[in-house]
Structure 1
Amino acid sequence: MAEIRIRNTNERITGEENVREFLNGQGVLYEHWDTSKLPEHLREKFVLSDEEKNEILQAYDAEIRDLAGRRGYQTWDVISLSDATPNLDELLKKFEQVHTHTEDEVRAIVAGKGIFIIKGKPEVGYFDVELEAGDVISVPEGNPHYFTLMENRQIVAVRLFIEPAGWVAHPYEDPEFQKA
């Protein structure tokens, strides 16, 4: 279940309803999908073949199509990152820069853990959203943020896009941002 840490105050928000309420107040969509739908043999697997990625998409087809229908997403895929990913540290450096997009950044975590660092409303500032299997988040277009892995450095997520080519990151310089 997702947890939030507000960086300015170190306050933590836990519990699905509390997390959803906070994120909705920041304009961020949060949902939770049933993790039991993921086939057992894929639950702790972080190096995936194309067939296994398709199996994940099939397992969550109803949820993906529901979310896509409500939010206008046109295409989706599966991303898998772990220490077995070639050039993982270089890839993470690219991810770990505050940026914006011209469409939502959507992740449905199906295995592992990840964290979004998001700029909230002025009274909140930046906050961390620690995600695990079942958590679904959509950071709205134009909202400064970045995504990275947590200490276990393993994640499998479904990504949804409006543009078939996917999203492009636009760097966002912000003197208010401080790495934790």
Structure 2
Amino acid sequence: MTTLSIFDQNQPETARTVTENPSEIQELLEKHGVRFEQWPTRELPAGASHEDILAAYRDEVAELKAECGFQTADVVSLNPDNPQKEAFRQKFLDEHIHREDEVRFFVRGQGLFYLHFGDQVFAILCQKNDLISVPDGTRHWFDMGPEPEFTCIRLFSNPDGWVADFTGEDIAGRLPRYEALAGAAE
């Protein structure tokens, strides 16, 4: 189940607020300019190619491109048997920003976005059916866990794809990781 936990950056050991209510999650994130929606997913075969996934969501992707000016869309998928899973996890674990909105639609599995607003950190465990759009310039990081299992459609304004500017802050290392928060949601 999708879960939002809100932490005080100065007391990161315990969340002050936790909710599983989608409309409350949407409302809390919207106050910070974050788009959160739950879309119906399509039934796809286990071995669906990235092209098949994009074709299945062609209309939704086209609508987001037209609405937000995105130029490209792709699919990222990771499974626990990927030999580079630890390197992929590490790539996204430090706080960073982008010069464009970061948009992800979870077709399968789950991942944890951390959004840093002032002295608060919002940790949203996104799951299948969740669309999240993190506004450009928002300090954030992503944790896919030690045994990643997800497939997401990503949209980009920049044709170069994922480009991050790391903040150099150590906040990501002070908050509970995926293992603690994803386990709490089950």
Whether these two folds match at TM > 0.5 is yes
Matched, 1:24 2:20: no
| Partners of 1:176 and 1:56 in 2: CA distance | 35
Q: 2:62 aligns to what SS in structure 1?
A: helix
User: What is the aligned partner in structure 1 of residue 68 from structure 2?
Assistant: 71
Task: Report deviation, 1:2.
Answer: 2.4
Separation in 2, partners of 1:92, 1:15:
28
Ranges in structure 2 where 5+ consecutive residues have no aligned partner: 9-13, 177-186
Distance 1:85 1:165 in 2: 24
Amino acid aligned to 1:69: A
SS at match of 2:61: helix
CA distance in 1, matches of 2:53, 2:105: 11
Amino acid across the alignment from 1:34: P
Q: SS at the partner of 2:169?
A: coil
Question: Which of 80, 85, 90 lines up with 2:87 in the alignment?
Answer: 90
When the two chains are superposed, the root-mean-square deviation of aligned CA atoms in Å is 1.8
* Residue segments in structure 1 that go unaligned for 5+ positions in a row: none
Q: Could you tell me whether the CA contact under 8 Å between 2:33 and 2:135 is conserved in 1?
A: yes
1:172 corresponds, among 167, 175, 178, to 167
Q: Report the secondary structure of 1:127's partner residue.
A: strand
Q: Does the CA-based 8 Å contact 2:86-2:146 persist in structure 1?
A: no
Q: Work out whether residues 38 and 56 of structure 1, in 8 Å CA contact, stay in contact via their aligned partners in 2.
A: no
- SS at the partner of 2:94? coil
Q: What is the CA–CA distance in structure 2 between the aligned matches of 1:147 and 1:73, rounded to whole Å?
A: 21
Aligned-pair distance for 1:173?
A: 2.6
TM-score w.r.t. the length of structure 1 is: 0.86
**The residue matched to 2:158 in structure 1 has which SS?**
coil
2:3 corresponds in structure 1 to 3
Pairing 1:1-180 to 2, within 5 Å after superposition: 1-8=1-8, 10=15, 11-35=17-41, 37-39=42-44, 41-42=45-46, 52-120=49-117, 122=118, 125-150=120-145, 153-174=148-169, 178-180=174-176
Percentage of pairs with the same residue: 32
The CA distance in 1 between the partners of 2:30 and 2:146, in whole Å, is 27
Query: Residue 180 of structure 2 corresponds to which residue in structure 1?
Result: none
- In the aligned structure 2, how far is the partner of 1:140 from the partner of 1:86? 32
Question: What code does the residue aligned with 1:14 have?
Answer: E
Q: Alpha carbons of 1:146 and 1:15: their partners in 2 closer, same or farther (altered >3 Å)?
A: same
Q: How far apart are residue 174 of structure 1 and its match?
A: 3.0
When normalised by structure 2's length, the TM-score is 0.84
Q: Give the Cα–Cα distance (whole angstroms) in 1 for the partners of residues 3 and 164 of structure 2.
A: 25
Report Cα offsets for 1:116-154 as digits up to 9, x if no partner. Answer: 01112x3x6111010100000011111110112146520
User: 4+ residue runs of structure 1 moved beyond 2 angstroms?
Assistant: 173-179
